[in-house]
Structure 1
Amino acid sequence: MRFEGIKEPAPMGSYLAEDVKFLLKDISGMIKEQSNEEREMIMQNGGHYSEMLPIEYFPTEEYMNIFYKTLEHTKYKVARAAAVVGELIYKEKGDNVVIVSLARAGTPIGILIKRYLEIKYKKKFPHYSISIIRGKGIDENGIKYILNYHNPEDIQFVDGWTGKGAINRVLNEAMKDFYEKYGMKISDELAVLADPAQCVSLYGTREDFLIPSACLNSTVSGLVSRTVLRDDIIGKDDFHGAKYYRKWIDKDVSRFFIDTITKCFKETDIEDELNKLDMKIYNKGIKEVNEIKDKYKIKNINLVKPGVGETTRVLLRRIPWKILVNDINNPNLKHILILAENKKVPVEEYKNMTYSCCGLIKSKVKGSVQ
């Protein structure tokens, strides 16, 4: 089946064209960014996060230093994890694998996996980045574009990490819906660099550590914003939208991050890790999240954001009222503690979790904070 009327995407983002093709509509200038406070109020009164963009600021010198130090400290760990999940993907899909990363956290991880496979197997692998949105699903036009060039059985979805496993569930539902609509079966198995939620079988590690690309926003994600889906700017034949932050091109570290990890691949030995890998799914993360939800009397589970990656996002883009950490001296949490201090958010030790940390978002209920 060929899908008609699917447009060719315009180039966007700061990555090399050979590293990724963004299946996104450039909505720069079409949407006004809003403060975290404005967005929080809208979301908690029924608005959807995908209809807005947060104001993105260039990171401070202190925060950039954390990124550089974290990258130096974790580069071999990230390289090993990318190599491990890359090998698992290759074992599943073989030479025809088509990497489809979920924008935006999945994009740098998809590039790393692509680069590892190309170095190891001496051939080129296609890589696309498309939008998936909790509560709204995956960009069907993006999937159709890919299917006009590739077989459905070759598609492998990739993301950065698992939090509660929510995007994994959105992907499961989206691929079920796609099959019911078009009769085309695409595997909904998600591959991630880090799986602290223990909810997928294709992963590089289950350690909840700081992936350097989670440190920053667009400046380590190809200068591309979080994705947007809004009827007034995204038509039925459009890809989901994103803003391209061209103004930061001289300060962008997206390629620097990729190149730094890529250099580590030649010194990466993963045979022992592959042999010891436990591919069982335990869904331990969601159980712990429900315990936190009950303990702190939080009504909406979406206000509990576990893991280093999700907690970082909460501190950058939302209004948290508390950060839980498994150990105040955990070296993975230096940037979390700095962000929490800057935003005057209290930090509390909470030992009963496998995650390194968890962000709890403010919810106003009848004038009080839940």
Structure 2
Amino acid sequence: MEAWQSRRIDDPQPMGSYPPGDVTFLLKDISNIKLEVALDARERAIQSGTHYSEMLPQEHLPSSDYLNLYQETLELSAEKVALSVGVVAELIRTKKGPNTVLVSLARAGTPIGILIKRYLQEIHQMNLPHYSISIIRGKGIDENALLYMLQKHPGARLQFIDGWTGKGAIRNVLTQACGKMARDYGIILDDDLAVVADPGHCTDMFGTREDFLIPSACLNSTVSGLLSRTVLRDDLIGPHDFHGSKYYKEWLDHDQSNHFIESIVPFFNKVNKEAQEMAQSFVTHPPEISWHGLRDIQAIQTTYQMADINLIKPGVGETTRVLLRRVPWRILVDRMDNPHIRHILLLAEARGVPVEVYPGLTYSCCGLIQSVKGDAE
């Protein structure tokens, strides 16, 4: 027996607002610790060298206008999301088979992982285990969580899942983490990342490469099981702990997490034939992984003379997050009449952030963060 197989890792405590059958969070509950930092102070800290995973952004409940926009977006895109989820689920089924564990990358991956699990249950009667674990740029993946799953499911293949790709930073972290697992433990993992949308062209496991708004990108914890972003700090997370997260139970009355899932699931039967055909075409003719999006970002970095590429957040999902929880400098869009960016224009107007057209952009939009100095999230 390998040493890691006998390593003692405690079972996780239940947390989050999803039914236990949908997902198991491999996270340490640190709800009782004050970690939230005001927007401007957090931005200064991040850009002065404090790692973003050592504190949390202050989260606010969405305004009624913004919640209306979310509901409207959900109604318009539910079938499209269902089709993309279906394509990814069919790819996982075809490439990995029944002995697969679904591993969502918290937070954005969690609702997508649940939808993939539900699709495979409903369409193919496959009941795959599903976990949500932490991955952090600059610090890596939660190795205790990986070892826990591999102990629980000997011989299984792990399939990592996220919501979408931006410039591919998390894909790179995942590849590095898998390399480290091979070196440190002799464990070989697939570093392929399954996402609903891959506008960055950095994976071949995707539902679409169109940069459209996945409604779950609109909201923070209230569409991710009421969990915060993940936290990794030596004084809070011990060597045998999972990475940490807070559970905002006080917002249960405002939670949209299960409503989001239940809005997409009814479309699975309608889209499943098309999803199977699309997935099969991807298997027959594998899509090129060109990292085209990253080249766009490098060009923007040069044009706007930005010292740090991490201050450029590409794609609808990431731009939404810049406007919700960072200090935005300007927003670039491919065209002003793009239907996928209506909420971006609304948020930018509300925060007084200039919007510029950047013709030929791979993405629908990019958010540029105000530079203070140094590193960024």
TM-score by shorter chain over 0.5: yes
For 1:326, which of 317, 321, 334 is the aligned residue? 334
Match of 1:309 in 2: 317
**2-structure distance, mates of 1:208, 1:31:** 35
Task: Report the CA distance shift for 1:275/1:143 in structure 2 as closer, same or farther (over 3 A).
Answer: closer
Match 1:229 to one of 223, 228, 232? 232
Aligned-pair identity in percent equals 55
Q: Does 1:70 align with 2:70?
A: no
Structure 1 residues 3 and 279: alpha-carbon distance in aligned structure 2, compared to 1, 3 A threshold: farther
Q: 1:357 aligns with which of 344, 350, 365?
A: 365
Query: Could you say what secondary structure the match of 1:156 adopts?
Result: strand
SS of the residue 2:201 aligns to: coil
SS in 2 for 1:95: coil
How many residue pairs match? The answer is: 366
The alpha-carbon distance between structure 1 residues 119 and 346, as it changes in their structure 2 partners (threshold 3 A), is same
- Aligned counterpart in structure 2 of residue 254 of structure 1, from 240, 252, 257: 257
- Indicate yes or no: 2:130 matched with 1:127: yes
- The letter of the residue matching 2:324 is L
3-state SS of paired residue (1:148): helix
How far 1:255 moved relative to its partner?
0.3
Q: Residue 88 of structure 2 contacts residue 279 of structure 2 at CA under 8 Å; is this kept in 1?
A: no
Aligned match of 1:274: 279
Q: Give per-residue Cα distances to partners, 1:31-69, cap 9 Å, x unaligned.
A: 331111011100111110000101100000000001100
What is the TM-score normalised by the length of structure 2?
Answer: 0.95
Residues 30, 233 of structure 1: 8 Å contact kept: no
Q: Give the SS at the match of 2:95.
A: helix
Any idea what the Cα deviations from partners look like across 1:146-199, whole Å, max 9, x if unmatched? 011114551100000000000000000001001100011111111111000011
Tell whether 2:23 aligns with 1:20. yes
- The runs of 5 or more residues in structure 2 that have no matched partner are none
- Residue 191 (structure 1) aligns with: 194
Question: For the residues of structure 1 that align with 2:168 and 2:149, how far apart are their CA atoms?
Answer: 25
Distance 1:274 1:4 in 2: 38
Q: Are positions 1:338 and 2:346 aligned together?
A: yes
Taking only aligned residues, the RMSD between alpha carbons, in angstroms, comes to: 1.3
> Partner letter of residue 181 of structure 2?
F
> One-letter code of the match for 2:290?
Y
TM-score (norm 1): 0.97
- Structure 1, unaligned stretches of length 5 or more? none
Q: Which residue of 2 aligns with 1:295?
A: 303
Q: What per-residue deviation string (whole Å, max 9, x for no partner) do you get for residues 189-218 of structure 1? A: 111110000110100110000000001000
Query: How far apart in 1 are the matches of 2:231 and 2:373?
Result: 27
Q: Which amino acid in the other structure matches residue 75 of structure 1?
A: A
Structure 1 runs, 4 residues or longer, greater than 4 Å off: none
- Matched residue type, 1:364: V
Say which structure, 1 or 2, has more relative contact order (CA 8 Å, 6+ apart): 2
CA distance in 1 between partners of 2:241 and 2:225 (Å): 21
Find 2:356's aligned residue among 348, 359, 367.
Answer: 348
Question: Who is 2:181 aligned against?
Answer: 178
Question: Counterparts of 1:179 and 1:117 in 2: how far apart (Å)?
Answer: 29
| Aligned 8 A contact 2:101 2:156 in 1 | no
Query: Residue 244 of structure 1 aligns with which residue?
Result: 247
Residues 113-142 of structure 1, C-alpha deviations (whole Å, 9 max, x = no match): 000011121131100000000000000110
Per the TM alignment, residue 3 of structure 1 is displaced from its structure 2 partner at its CA by: 3.7
From 286, 292, 297, the equivalent of 1:284 is: 292
Aligned equivalents of 1:151 and 1:107: distance in 2?
A: 23
Looking at structure 2, the residues matched to 320 and 155 of structure 1 have their Cα atoms a distance apart, in angstroms, of 36
For 2:203 and 2:191, the matched residues in 1 are separated by: 11
